[in-house]
Every structure is written in C-alpha cells, then in structure tokens.
Amino acid sequence: MDRRQTTQRTLVLSAVTDQLEHPTAQQVYDKIHEDFPGIGKATVYRNLNLLADEGKLLKIEGIEGPVHFDSTLKTHSHLECKVCNKVIDVDFTIDGEVFENIERTTGFGDLNRNIVISGICPDCLKTVLDGKE
C-alpha cells in the first residue's frame, strides 16, 4: 500500500509539527480550514491516523474527550487539565525496570510508556480557588 503525497496530507502534518501544540483533530481541521477551506474533516482524521501509524506523529490517547496529537516523538508523558482539557508535555517516564516488573507479573506485553496523568492546570486552579466556580 504505497502512500501518495497530497496537499491535504502535507497540511495536516505541518499543522501538528509547525503550527499547533498538542492539537485535537478538530483544531487541526480549523487551522487548515483558514487557508484551505475545501478540506474535509474525514480527511483530517484519516491523515492524522495514518501519520501516527507511520510514526510521524504521536497519538495521545487516554484523555478525556477528544484525542490529541503530538509532534514530539521521544518517549515522554503528558499532563491533561481536567477542567480546560489543555495538554502539556512532562519530562517523566516510568522506570524501565518497573515496566518489566509489571509485564512479568501480569503477563501483559507491549506496554505504552507514554502515560497521561490528569489534574488541574495552573490557570484553572486559580479560577477554582477564586470564584469557586
């Protein structure tokens, strides 16, 4: 199954790598739509998944709400704000030995080293403390 280089594919990749930070499919769609109104949402979804399969993007799953994408390929984890849904990188990984131990005791394999931890971001913390709303 050989891949073709289409305008849409290029735009999707560049939106994630050059223009946005941890965007969702919707945000990628909106961004591209500004300059290229003809693009269809299904095309964005298809290309994001395809690029993630090829290893050119990282799919951040395990988040409440829509999936986010990341152009940083190195293993790292993410913090997700449960209030505003923002996602940030955090330079933390679970020790390799711990993973091996989990795999050994549970029989699970192929564990995903990119984990997601949810919490409340600084901005939303402020709001919560202030207005209690």
Partner DNA sequence: GTGCCTGCAAATGTTTTGCAAACCT
Partner DNA sequence: AGGTTTGCAAAACATTTGCAGGCAC
Residue selected from 16, 22, 24, 58 as contacting DNA according to rule CB under 7 A: 24
CA distance 41 to 46: 9
- Supply the angle between the helices 25-35 and 7-14 in degrees, to the nearest 10: 120
Question: Is residue 65 part of the contact set for DNA (CB under 7 A)?
Answer: yes
87 binds, among a second copy, DNA, none (CB under 5 to 8 A by kind): none
Q: Does 115 bind a second copy (CB under 8 A)?
A: yes
Pick what 94 binds: a second copy, DNA, none; C-beta below 5 to 8 Å, kind-dependent: a second copy
Select from 17, 49, 77, 118 the one that contacts DNA (CB under 7 A). 49
- Cα distances from 76 to residues 58, 60, 72, 81, 122, in angstroms, run 11, 11, 9, 17, 20
Q: Which single residue is written with the structure tokens 């945000």?
A: 27
Answer yes or no whether residue 125 interacts with a second copy by CB under 8 A.
Answer: yes
For CA atoms 121, 126, 128, 133, give the dihedral sign.
negative
CB closer to DNA, 6 vs 101: 6
Residue 21 φ/ψ, nearest 5 degrees: -120, 115
- Distance in angstroms (rounded) separating the CA atoms of residues 108 and 87: 27
Among 40, 92, 98, 108, binds DNA (CB under 7 A): 40
Query: Going residue by residue from 30 to 69, which x/- string records binding to a second copy, judged by CB under 8 A?
Result: -------------------------------xxxx-----
Which residues bind to DNA, rule: CB under 7 A? Answer: 1-9, 24-26, 38-43, 45-47, 49, 65-67
